Structure 1
């Protein structure tokens, strides 16, 4: 199964923002969900990938999942002045989410927050509730940061929908986003040779 490309996710984001005054960032701000309640997915990403993240969020939401993005769902959080309260707010939001998707991009490799979010989420929910979504410039490219290789990846299935894959002993195992969101109750990997 192929990974999603940067161009593909950016095109989805651009399409969503094309007819909106203010572009992708404004669409995201206006579509913010309630600051109360639970989310299915915490989207860990680099703030520098706004239009790209709009596309990723849309791809994930097409599966019926509620996706938390910090600067969308908490627009008053001041990213330029990070405090202990900022970290506490992000912890509380991660606790409200069932699963995490880590958007692995070139900009992600320079993020100081993403490794912290990944470590916190893994410690709280376990690695079965985490998936890496590599967004590649070209197919087959590496996303770097070897430590993210312990998590399954989100790839495009034959139907075009996102699916989680894990490669083990030459076999490809897969599960759906529904399985990941329900990970606390257990899940099963399926063989997909």
Structure 2
């Protein structure tokens, strides 16, 4: 399986923004058009430092027919620099509206204080957690770091005998499931020691 590359994700983001608009602007416009959504396929856990990458990831996942919640776009009133019990409750409520959490792993992920909290809460609440590594090399495999290594990771590839790409959820290099199969029973598809 091949991982999502930074160049592919940025290219997809640029297709959405064109040459004059910023990624954050396009994301806000899209969210304004869909404010009535109360359920999502994916809660996108990410660093706010990755606006262009997040636009690209959101677009790629939507290309596969998924609905994606991005917290700082859907709920711009939240201040990540000033976490309160009320803001944490908004995030909890939003996570309960989502079928899965996708943790976008980039060079900026380690600096986020929210991402580990979102991951832990969603894992305990639902269990449908996958890591989406954005790598420099398409053929890179993702082993995870520290606690991230227990979760499966996502990539895109065609199934055997096909040229049509699909989203896959992988348990290391030993097993893969299509998104639809994984989401129906995610807890059984975890890495074991």
The answer for the alignment partner of 2:171 in structure 1 is 166
Structure 1 counterpart of 2:134: 135
Instruction: Please list the CA deviations of residues 44-79 of structure 1 after superposition, one character each: whole Å capped at 9, or x if unmatched.
Output: 000000000001011111121111000121123233
Aligned match of 1:59: 60
How many residues get paired?
A: 182
1:4 match: 4
Does the 8 Å contact 1:99/1:180 carry over to 2? Answer: no
Aligned residue number for residue 80 of structure 2: 79
Q: Is the 8 A contact 1:59 1:162 kept in 2?
A: no
Aligned equivalent of 1:110: 111
Partner of 1:148: 148
Could you tell me the TM-score, scaled by structure 1's length? 0.84
Give the secondary-structure state (helix, strand or coil) at the position aligned to 2:51: helix
Is the CA contact 2:105–2:132 (under 8 Å) kept in the aligned structure 1? yes
1:17 Cα deviation after fit = 0.8
Unaligned runs of 5+ in 1: none
Q: CA RMSD in A?
A: 2.3
The Cα of 1:161 is off from its aligned counterpart by 2.8
